Chains A and B, each alone.
Chain A
Amino acid sequence: MKLSMKLIAGAVALGFAAMSGAAVVPAGVKLAAKQELIRNNGSEPESLDPALAESVGANNIARDLFEGLTANDAAGKIVPGVAESWKQTDPTTWVFKLRKNAMWSNGTPVTADDFVYGWQRFLDPKTASPYASTYGIFILNGLAITEGKKQPSELGIKAIDKYTLEVKTEGPVGFMADLVSNTQLGPVNKAAIEKFGKDWTKPGNLVGNGAYVLKDWQVNSKLVLEKNPKYWDAKAVVLNKVTYLPVEDGNTDVKLFQSGENDWVYQLPPGTYDQLKTEFPKDIRNAPMLGLRYYSFNNTDPLMKDIRVRKALSMVIDRDILASKVTADGQVPAYGVVVKGTAGADVTAYDWAKWPMAKRVAEAKKLLAQAGVKPGTKIKFSYNTSEYHKKMAIFAASEWKTKLGLDTEMENMEFKVLLKKRHDGDFQIARNGWVADYNDVTTFLTLVQCDSDQNDNKNCNKKGDELIKQASTTLDPVKRKTLMTQAAKVIMDDYPMLPLLQYTVPRLVKSYVGGYTKTNSMDRFRDKDLYIIQH
């Protein structure tokens, strides 16, 4: 413990009120007279209640309507939100100082009590938030409350005074500032919720504390936001009006962009990146994000439980060709469970990743022979119906066929069916993917940890789990990082799954949309950070 105070001092993260995260318009940039943005969001939000928001799209809107203690700026950095500053006062306690000028859109001040109410409501079993256990696990008693074993009032959050908030955690949570940027862990307006009940998120009823207010919401058609004049940083907000579209079909999305009715394509249709890049060289954007495309091995399957088989299957997939020729949209080859840019651990890779392919194939053949797997053996691959997944699967199957002589039976199915099979362990090899919930290594390690809900591979490495446990109780960020990296390496040396590519976000955004960056690795763009350049 002697060391700890010094370490805490080192781990203290301080925010400054002066460092506001709003739109930074570079000198010399002329703004357009009309500051309005139309942005496709990929799907209809399942809810505007931040506690119930689950999808990327719903969270995008939630971050405009609500603001938590901290937030992501356009560059991907954590900046102060309602909290002006914060510090870790002991290993399991964080204290947040709230700004006094934060207001609800109805003009009443945002206070520490609003956060206490918001967090308790978020974890209350009656709210049934899909994210309750994901974030609740870090907060003292959070999980027990979600499980109905404790009362919401026992949650580790307390209003010391009107503008001071104390948060108790289960263990040391070094990435607290990152975690609380999620609007699930934000404030909600008790008066509005109690007055309107289920309808509190409808236009006219919704009271938020974000940079925007809800003006209009037509399901499956559009959702319109307007600048919130009561927002504490309103003077730095440039866009006056933002229209979110819920277009799911990529081709429709691009057509709306071409005809000028959409400034922001959510995601390009598969196989169109190169063509659209040539057609719209000024508008094409692509940057890596914290997400991993991988295939789950069912580690309990009679064939897949042999590590030699899993290793051989992983070794022979040429990620470089997969990235450059098959998906051909700028994605990055991956060889570990942790992707580049993740805080709290280094990227791990296999030694053979640098070997020439011939050597990899020879080694893989040897492994299969040792495992007694003969050429012509059948393996079964399951994926959800999608052109993109199909292309990748055909490539993988051809690698396994031509290099190892294995026959892959490909089985495509509806997404929900795949999810069910994956969660039930009813598969041999299955397509999988993950996008970080917050920027820390733990979000990725849940994919391979023993008994984790997210572990579809059903693998368990006791040593790796022990290292994660050690790291989680360590206060020294450097030591924690070393331990977490070791854990990732130890677990991945078991080949529980087959990492393939790190996600990038290829999309079209009109060149006159300013504030868009390549470093926002969580792909979280708040509209307060964007602006329209004169064009």
Chain B
Amino acid sequence: MWSYALRRILSTIPTILVVITVCYLMLHLTPGGPFDSERKVSAAVLANLQAKYHLDMPLWKQYLYYLNNLLHGDLGASFRYADWSVNDLVARALPVSLSIGGISMIISIVIGVALGIVAALKQNSLVDYFVMLLGNVGSAFPSFVIGPVLILVFAIWVKWFPAGGWDEFSPKYMILPIVLLTFINVSTIGRVMRGSLIEVMNTNFIRTARAKGLPLRTIVMRHAIRPALLPVVSVLGPLAISSITAAIVTETVFSLPGIGKLIVNGAGNRDYTLVLGLVVLVTVLAVVLNLLVDLAYAILDPKIRY
């Protein structure tokens, strides 16, 4: 398994290179540059700015310069946030996004799986309808609708939590964003778990277990849950990655200083280095998450061995 993991990690290097190259070219092809602003800078000032940020070199040279820095772990200087390096910015924003995303992911798995099991076992009962309704609402309403509603109710009407902002991982600022992300994730996980467990419960081996007279609790916990979790695990990878992209909206709604905010500002401001740095980061995260998902398969399904 370890050699498999190592091979997988090594095989991502070309992927990351391709992503960087494509992204690099796309950024430079996009009209408008980092120094275009309402007040047009004079030719002399533009030349000074470009020299400062090495944009006066030919594109291929800039690219190699960037790659060289990247190999040394340096993501470069930010254009938009002139006082900070991209490393600084990512180091400060990543823990914010990871804590919100990570905590919400764990809660979502626990609640989603539990709800899914209950709904599957009590198919067409009130509980089941509730889970399905929750699932549909969570999928149908975008986070930029649910988020402001949460703020209206819990920050403006009852004033339990602040409407937004961030203060050194203080829980009161984290709760509403976590609730929002959890709500969306639970709906997906719950639905998948429900469907998958219903299917498993109708398979031959479960019928055999029932015929042997095992109690339902044992059947579910010992025999059904592991195969039923496989599809859930499959969606966790994409779900975790979409939590990062969803952060673009949640972080705007709650004014959080996370990765999503940097992506939006970086792209809008043509902050080449910042955007590239974040793309590298998200690519690496995606690769790692997918690897974890694949490794989890081996634990859940004895047929899968690497």
Contact = CB atoms under 8 A, between A and B. Distances in A.
B93 A44 contact: no
B255 interface: yes
B41 interface: yes
Given A128-B48, A219-B81, A247-B164, A417 B252 contact: no
A90 interface: no
B148 A133 contact: no
Interface in B146-161: 148, 151-152, 155-156, 159
A489 B81 CA distance: 41
A252 B52 contact: no
A143 interface: yes
A415 B268 contact: yes
Given A132-B45, A143-B44, A259-B159, A46 B166 contact: no
Given A220-B93, A220-B261, A249 B36 contact: no
Interface stretch (A70-78, A329-337, A344-352, A418-426): A418-426
A201 B83 contact: yes
Contacts, number: 159
Interface in B82-99: 82-84, 88-89, 92-93
A490 to B, nearest CB: 24
Contact of A128 (B52, B151, B156, B262): B52
Given A130-B37, A414-B268, 17 more contacts: A46-B80, A46-B82, A52-B82, A125-B48, A201-B83, A219-B89, A219-B93, A221-B166, A248-B252, A252-B254, A255-B152, A256-B163, A256-B164, A261-B162, A415-B32, A416-B268, A420-B32
A259 B81 CA distance: 29
Q: Which range contains the number of B residues in contact with the other chain? A: 35 or more
Given A218-B92, A259-B163, A126 B52 contact: yes
5 contacts: A47-B82, A52-B82, A130-B37, A146-B45, A251-B148
B253 interface: yes
A132 B48 contact: yes
Contacts of A221: 165-167, 255-257
A454 interface: yes
B14 interface: no
* Residue with the highest number of chain A CB atoms closer than 10 Å, among B31, B83, B152, B257: B83
Q: What 9 A-B pairs have minimum CB-CB distances, sorted nearest first?
A: A416-B32, A220-B257, A221-B257, A133-B42, A128-B48, A259-B163, A47-B82, A147-B44, A419-B36
Interface string A48-68: 110010100000000000000
Interface of B: 30-33, 35-45, 47-49, 51-52, 80-84, 88-89, 92-93, 148, 151-152, 155-156, 159, 162-167, 252-258, 261-262, 265, 268-270
A146 B48 contact: yes
B255 A252 contact: yes
B39 A134 contact: yes
Contacts of B81: 44, 46-47, 219
B83 A130 contact: no
B147 to A, nearest CB: 9
Contacts of A456: 40
Given A218-B92, A218-B257, A49 B82 contact: yes
A453 B46 CA distance: 12
Nearest to A199: B83
A255 B163 contact: yes
B270 A416 contact: yes
B252 A423 contact: no
Interface string A124-139: 0111111011100000
Contacts of B165: 221-222, 245, 256, 261
A519 interface: no
B40 A453 contact: yes
A433 interface: yes
B52 A220 contact: no
Given A219-B93, A256-B165, A261-B164, A44 B265 contact: yes
Contacts of A127: 48
Contacts of B41: 130, 133, 453
A4 interface: no
Contacts of A48: 83
A161 B252 CA distance: 52
A417 B42 contact: no
A168 B84 CA distance: 35
A305 interface: no
Given A220-B257, A261-B165, A420-B31, A454 B40 contact: yes
Contacts of B159: 259-260
Contacts of A107: none
A156 B154 CA distance: 59
Contact of B31 (A251, A256, A258, A421): A421
Contacts of A133: 41-42, 44-45
Nearest to A125: B48
Contacts of B164: 247, 252, 255-256, 261
A130 B31 contact: no
A435 B273 CA distance: 30
Nearest to B79: A46
Interface in A170-199: 198-199
A148 interface: yes
